[in-house]
Amino acid sequence: MPIDIITAHRDLWKRCRAQGFAGYDPYDALNSRWFQATPLRRSRWARFAWTQVHKRSPINFRSLVRVSRERNSKGIALFALAALADYRRQGTREAEIEARELLDDLNDLRLKGFSGAAWGYNFDWQSRSFFAPRGTPMIVPTAFAARALCEAAQVFSRDEYLPFARTICDFILNDLNRTEETHDEVCFSYSPLDRTCVFNASLLAAETLATIGRLTGEESLCELAMRAALYVVRRQREDGSWAYGADDYQSWSDNFHTAFILTSLARIIDSVPTSVTSGLGEQLEGPLRRGYDFWRERFFLENGWPKYFPDRLYPADAHSAAAAIVALVDLRGRIPSTMILAEQVASWAIENLRDSQGYFYFQRRRLHTIRIPYMRWSQAWMMCGLSRLIECQNWER
């Protein structure tokens, strides 16, 4: 008998809670105490290769090379967002306690020594362009923490959560690098250590500024968010897609980074007041719709199968499915039939990527399935997606 969305949501919460929301991550291989004891730790290419070998392997060797299960700040932020969605739907004391405890955990994981509150990853990260040691503040986990804190301010107490969220803007304004800055455009870096132009990352910074600016009434934050949004939409391709970033080696387009862009654009449009947009709103609405049309047509099959890349069927990835559900729920009311597609994607993921123990596999590939239950990448994202979907299904009924 097929597992329904409510059951999948309940079983996943139970499993993740039992594990203390701690687990492995696709990119945590550099936490290996074995690897760190060798000279290879100093080699950029060795770090990159070691990470990719463990990420792509269908067998989890992490315990063998002494990688520990840990909590990840972005994962905790996603679980907090899921708990907040459940509280809005249920309104129970139990749901409130769970959400508040996760928000407290998020507070405990913040990094010290920066202009404002910021979060990073719990592992060294070697990208193609730069190396970020464990504990480097990153805009992506920071933006999801900001999203959770802003929702908590609206659900529980502005006085309790909004002042803390406001300090995140200080991190963005003072610690992140800015490139391509003109009178009406700006691009924020991924971290204080790089000057890359990653479109979804810069938009997450803009979303944070816009959301907090709306809540605090600071138009200057919304103005800067608008400039960052204009930078991204003006670099949309003719077919409606976006590359991952501005450099030649960042030319690919994938499902979940496109979902991030669409989600952030929608949230910025909803947050920036008309006094700031000054007639520029259409410069965001049009690209948002063209981007959605490309995403819907090229990244999904009719049965809800979410493709990772637009030109190939595999890998089928739990992160892509869950991020798509979140984006589709956020786009409801703006674009027709997004909730129908969200339910199709959720049902497909439950049928094809869910283990009988209640967790979700990392990826389904053409010849094999990587069944490793990554906590942030798969479980936290799917928890957030299912919670948001159930919440809005309940509202619509």
> What pLDDT is recorded for position 128?
78
Copy the structure tokens of residue 212: 């907090």
Angle made by CA atoms 148, 117, 27, in degrees to the nearest 5: 70
Q: Tell me the C-alpha distance between 375 and 395, whole Å.
A: 28
Residues 139-160 have pLDDT tens digits of 999 999 999 999 999 999 889 9
At residue 277, the pLDDT reads 62
Q: Sign of torsion, CA 334 339 344 349? A: positive
Alpha helices in the chain (DSSP H): 5-18, 33-36, 44-56, 73-90, 93-108, 139-155, 158-174, 199-216, 219-233, 255-271, 274-277, 282-299, 318-330, 338-353, 381-396
**How confident is the model over 157-199, as pLDDT tens digits?**
889 999 999 999 999 999 999 987 888 899 999 999 999 999 9
Q: What is the mean pLDDT of each run of 10 residues along the chain (397 residues)?
A: 83 97 97 95 94 95 96 98 97 96 97 96 88 94 98 93 97 94 92 94 98 96 95 96 92 96 96 71 88 98 96 96 98 95 97 96 95 97 98 73
Q: Residue 1 has what pLDDT? A: 38
- 112 token code pair: 């010290």
- C-alpha distance across the termini of the chain, in Å: 25
Whether 102 contacts 78, CB under 8 Å = no
Q: What DSSP line would sit under 299-341, residue for residue?
A: HB-TT--BEEETTEEEEEEHHHHHHHHHHHHHTTTTSTTHHHH
Q: What pLDDT, on a 0 to 100 scale, did the predictor assign at position 280?
A: 62
Instruction: Return the bridge partners of 300, or none.
Output: 306
Name the strand (E) or helix (H) holding 126: strand 125-126
pLDDT of residue 282: 74
Under 8 Å between Cβ of 376 and 21: no
Quote the CA–CA distance of 360 and 166 in Å, as a whole number. Answer: 34
User: How many Cα atoms sit within 13 Å of 287 on the Cβ side?
Assistant: 24
Name, in order, each residue with C-beta under 8 angstroms of 90's C-beta and a sequence gap of 6 or more: none
CA atoms within 13 A on the CB side of 52: 9
d(CA 193, CA 145): 20
Give the global pTM: 0.96
* Residues 195, 365: Cα–Cα separation, whole Å: 34
